[in-house]
């Protein structure tokens, strides 16, 4: 059983397109994280959310606690956005993190 589900698993977009990646979770959480993993393997934290919405440059993350759902949006996508995007949640009952399997994004020039 996966506590965190992401969709789609793979996504190909043309440069400039608006992109949405979805994350649903089944456990109670204290926070939700969006991570980016580059082809070289390094993992970078993009956002940490516990409610509402956050924006950083062309990236926007939203969370709906009641529906246990979060979305990551990329506006005006660029080939350098090509990476795997990972949703992770921190359980509210301990120090456990649960990770989705990631969404592989390819942006074509």
Partner 1 sequence: DAGITQSPRHKVTETGTPVTLRCHQTENHRYMYWYRQDPGHGLRLIHYSYGVKDTDKGEVSDGYSVSRSKTEDFLLTLESATSSQTSVYFCAIGQGAGEQYFGPGTRLTVT
Note the helical H segments in the chain: none
Is residue 12 close enough to count as binding partner 1 by CB under 8 A?
Answer: no
Taking the least distance from each CB to partner 1, the nearer of 77 and 88 is 88
Rounded Cα distance between 65 and 63, Å, is 6
For residue 10, what are the CA distances in angstroms to 14, 19, 23, 88, 95?
Answer: 14, 12, 13, 17, 30
Selected binder of partner 1 within 44, 51, 78, 106 (CB under 8 A): 44
The owner of tokens 């996504």 is 11
Shortest Cβ 54–partner 1 spacing (Å):
12
Selected binder of partner 1 within 27, 31, 60, 65 (CB under 8 A): 31
Is residue 30 close enough to count as binding partner 1 by CB under 8 A?
Answer: yes
β-sheet bridge partners, residue 23 = 6, 70
Contact by Cβ (8 Å): 14, 58: no
Taking the least distance from each CB to partner 1, the nearer of 47 and 77 is 47
Is residue 96 close enough to count as binding partner 1 by CB under 8 A?
Answer: yes
Is residue 57 close enough to count as binding partner 1 by CB under 8 A?
Answer: no
């Amino acid at each position: 059983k996966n506590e965190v589900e992401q969709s789609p698993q793979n996504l190909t977009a043309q440069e400039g397109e608006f992109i949405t990646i979805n994350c649903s979770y089944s456990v109670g959480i204290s926070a939700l994280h969006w991570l980016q993993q580059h082809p070289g393997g390094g993992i970078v934290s993009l956002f940490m959310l516990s409610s509402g919405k956050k924006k950083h440059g062309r990236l926007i993350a939203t969370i709906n606690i009641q529906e246990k759902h979060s979305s990551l949006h990329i506006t005006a996508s660029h080939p350098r956005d090509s990476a795997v995007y990972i949703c992770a949640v921190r359980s509210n009952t301990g120090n456990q993190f649960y990770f989705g399997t990631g969404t592989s994004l390819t942006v074509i020039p």
